[in-house]
Structure 1
Amino acid sequence: MTEIRKSSIGFLTLFCLFFATSCSRSDVRMPSVRERGRLTVVVEDRLPGYFVFGGESYGYQYDLFRAYADHLGVELHVVVGRTPSQCARMLCEGEADLAATLADHAATEGLVPVPIYRTSYVLLSDKKTAAQARRAEPFRLTEWLRGRKVMIAPGFKRSGAYDMLLDSLAFPTELYVSSANSFESIAALGEKRYDFLICEMSEAQLGCAFQKNVGQVYRFAESVSMSALVSPLDEGLRADFEAWLARFRCSEEYAMLNYLYFEKGIVGQMTGRRWTSAEAGGISVYDDLFKKICEREGYDWRLVSAIAYSESRFNPWLVSHRGAQGLMQIMPHVARQFDVAGNVMDPENNVLLAVKVLSKIEKSLDFAPGTSADERMKIVLACYNAGIGHVMDARNLARKYGADPDSWADVSRYLTLKSDPAYAGDEAVRHGRFVGRQTLAFVDNVYDRYVRYCTSVRR
Structure 2
Amino acid sequence: MPKSSGWSRVVVLFCFMFALTAPCLVVVSGTAAAMVAAQEDDPATLPEDRIQDLILPAEKAFSGDVKEIRQRGVLRVLVTYRKGDFFIADGELRGVEVELARAFAAWLGKKGGKKALPVRAIFIPVAFDELLTALEQGKGDIAAAGFTVTEARSARVPFATPYLRGIDEVFAIRKGAPVPTSLDELAGRTVHVVRGSSHEQHLGELNVRLAAQGLAPLNIVTPSADLQPEDLFDLLGTGAIDLMVADSHRARLWRRAMPDVQVLPSLKLKTGQDIAWAVRPDAPGLLHEVNAFFAADGGRAVKKAAGLLERYYADRSWHVEGLNRKFAARAKRLYPHFIRYGDTYAFDPLLLLAQGYRESRLNQKLRSPRGAVGVMQVLPSTARTMGFPDVVKEAVTNIHAGVRYLEYVRSDYFSDADIREPDRTLFSLAAYNMGPNRMARVRERAIRMGLDPNRWFGNVEYAALRYVGREPVTYVAQISSYYIAYQGSHAVTGARRPVLEALQK
What range describes the TM-score normalised by the shorter chain of this pair?
0.3 to 0.5
Taking structure 2 as the reference length, the TM-score comes to 0.40
